[in-house]
Structure 1
Amino acid sequence: MHAQTRPCIAIISFGTMGAPLARILIQQGYRVLTCLEGRSEKTKARAASVGVESLSISGIVQQATLILSIVPPADAMITAQSFAEAVKQVSTSCNPLPAYVDLNATSPPQSLAIADVITAAGLRYVDGGIIGFPPSELEDGTWKKPTVLISGPKLADCLSGNEEAATELATVLKVRHISDAIGAASGFKNCFASYYKGQVAITLQAFTTAQTLGCLPFLREMLHWHVPEVAPKLEAGVLNMQHKAFRWIHEMESISDTFHSNGLWSPDLFKGVGEVYQVVDQETDLGKHGKDTVEEVISEICAGLERRKLKAE
């Protein structure tokens, strides 16, 4: 497909997930936009170095075909509102309005609320979620990609019915349409995320409790002995969550909301999981100064739990 006929993609924001997705698109000949207002000079230089164009929100509304919202869950609604407000301020009489694809870790009720804001502004809304880790470029130049799930309108619906363009973009970004219902993709994302992030929280509680009992080394030994295929993944999760806990707090709220609103379960289970990540974020410095070993991470969390206990007394 000729570059001029490919859709123009806006990615908000240019972060851990958005930046490599932008690189993939640019390598495949797509024009990629973002908004870097308020971002550091380092981030602006990094975006420019790979060919990403920085525009205002209004500029993106005027020039983009698709807007991919990839922000922390707590910012999902305000990001949508900023685009809805921008539509009122620009003249789009010569161009069709872009479609807005929300790929954030929101619950189905939250996604429906965002859909109301977006569609009221005249934009087409696509519910979505990203399954997997951020893309990583392999030695041979190919990419290991996450899966982008969407529900509601299909890609072709957002590209003026251009099936060829939709098929190509779906291949480039590994997009799968799973349902015509808004909320299905965001709900699936939460169901999937609950396994890994819930398991990491259980591991943190088990390891810190074993540490206070003086038997953490023995617990780890038994895990490696009885479940050798699982133990390394549990310990990797302990290390990998350090810089993500602040974001996972809101994700656990979304999972809790999903399981309660759509699954009819009590919301308490994943509220408790969110509390685990709240301890990591608010009672330790692991988010800023991560540790290299499981022992160090667990010791820091134990100290944080003790500090929280003293503050409560």
Structure 2
Amino acid sequence: MTRLTIALVGAGSMGSAVGKLLSASGTRVLTTLEGRSAASAARAREAGMEDATLDELAASDFILSIVPPAVALDTAERLAPALTRAANKAVYIDCNAISPQTVATIAQTVDATGAAFVDGGIIGMPSSPKFYFSGPHAPLASALGDAGLAVRLLDGPVGAASALKMSYAGITKGLTALGSAMSLAAMRNGAGQALLDELAESQPEISAWLASNVPRMPPKAYRWVAEMEEIAAFIGDGFAEHRIYEGAAGLYARLATDKTATDALSRFFSETAR
């Protein structure tokens, strides 16, 4: 079997974990560390990823884009000239938490280079991610299953995998936002302990879920702002419920810098976990 070369753009917590999974399977993993922080560079090296030029990335077998939602389009545009120049073009897979509308724009950017485009969505923790792929070129991504990734192909167009990711994240991260907002409001108005007690008594599953997930949220809040905005766009301005996720984006933007509030949430839910 020919050894795959996979370019992975984005050496954050998820990207570096995916790089480690690929490297462990014997896959050669390339990345670009240009403009990345020292922490990202260290994570990439620890995951067995090699620093490479954009032209080297473009000539690999696959490019996996795993970056913050706000820079997903910028990433495709940065790689487009190299993809255009490449004689043997990588299959470009966008794995970011973005709306189908944003995916369509990225697909147009990649299509113009002559490279194949696959829509992707990641669900799960960095230690055990599942990759959903859709679009006419999605079957090409099945090769990633032999490279150590959990691959699931969707019978749908470009945008279907991202729609799944938006829907799933809208429920899970939306519930985290709802629990955080209501808990903070209860504490501000003297009903915090009563809320904890009532949730534990009448909604034990929700109580346990929030106790597990809300305290883990603060370090990720800044990254979830753009994701909530993408979910709002996914729903569409024509539906009133898109404002739920605009509100969630505002909440996460505040919690990203409001340590008093996030410390209060951690203390609040530590009571539930006891």
TM-score w.r.t. length of structure 1: 0.79
How far did residue 236 of structure 1 move? 2.3
CA distances 1:8-41 after superposition (whole Å, capped 9, x unpaired): 1111111100111111111111111111112244
How far did residue 260 of structure 1 move? 1.4
Corresponding residue for residue 44 of structure 1: 41
Aligned counterparts of 2:260 and 2:189: Cα–Cα separation in 1: 23
Tell me, yes or no, if structure 1 residue 265 matches structure 2 residue 257: no
Q: Which residue type is aligned with residue 278 of structure 1?
A: A
* 1:45/1:107 CA distance change after superposition, 3 Å: closer
Q: Which 5+ residue runs of structure 1 have no aligned equivalent?
A: 136-144, 299-313
Tell me, yes or no, if structure 1 residue 87 matches structure 2 residue 83: yes
Aligned length: 269
- Equivalent pairs: percent with the same residue? 33
* 1:293/1:278 CA distance change after superposition, 3 Å: closer
**Structure 2 SS opposite 1:230:** helix
* 1:294/1:167 CA distance change after superposition, 3 Å: closer
Q: Which residue type is aligned with residue 174 of structure 1?
A: A
Given candidates 263, 266, 272, the residue that maps to 1:294 is 266
Aligned counterparts of 2:97 and 2:43: Cα–Cα separation in 1: 25
How far did residue 157 of structure 1 move? 3.3
Q: Which residue type is aligned with residue 116 of structure 1?
A: Q
* 1:192/1:286 CA distance change after superposition, 3 Å: farther
Corresponding residue for residue 111 of structure 2: 119
Given candidates 66, 69, 90, the residue that maps to 2:62 is 66
Are the counterparts in 1 of residues 7 and 62 from structure 2 also a CA contact under 8 Å?
A: yes
Tell me, yes or no, if structure 1 residue 245 matches structure 2 residue 221: yes
Corresponding residue for residue 303 of structure 1: none
Are the counterparts in 1 of residues 116 and 137 from structure 2 also a CA contact under 8 Å?
A: no
Are the counterparts in 1 of residues 131 and 150 from structure 2 also a CA contact under 8 Å?
A: yes
Given candidates 5, 8, 15, the residue that maps to 2:5 is 8
Aligned counterparts of 2:110 and 2:102: Cα–Cα separation in 1: 12
How far did residue 229 of structure 1 move? 2.1
Tell me, yes or no, if structure 1 residue 184 matches structure 2 residue 167: no
Q: What RMSD over aligned residues (CA atoms) do the two structures have, in Å? A: 2.3
Q: Which 5+ residue runs of structure 2 have no aligned equivalent?
A: none
How far did residue 198 of structure 1 move? 1.0
CA distances 1:37-82 after superposition (whole Å, capped 9, x unpaired): 12244543443344211102122112x1100000000000000000
Aligned counterparts of 2:205 and 2:168: Cα–Cα separation in 1: 20
Aligned counterparts of 2:189 and 2:156: Cα–Cα separation in 1: 51
CA distances 1:247-304 after superposition (whole Å, capped 9, x unpaired): 111111111111117xx5232121111111122124x1479xx749623799xxxxxx
Tell me, yes or no, if structure 1 residue 53 matches structure 2 residue 50: yes
Higher gyration radius (CA): 1
TM-score w.r.t. length of structure 2: 0.90
Tell me, yes or no, if structure 1 residue 101 matches structure 2 residue 93: yes
* 1:166/1:11 CA distance change after superposition, 3 Å: closer
Corresponding residue for residue 168 of structure 1: 146
Are the counterparts in 2 of residues 9 and 68 from structure 1 also a CA contact under 8 Å?
A: yes
Are the counterparts in 2 of residues 10 and 67 from structure 1 also a CA contact under 8 Å?
A: yes
Aligned counterparts of 1:248 and 1:180: Cα–Cα separation in 2: 26
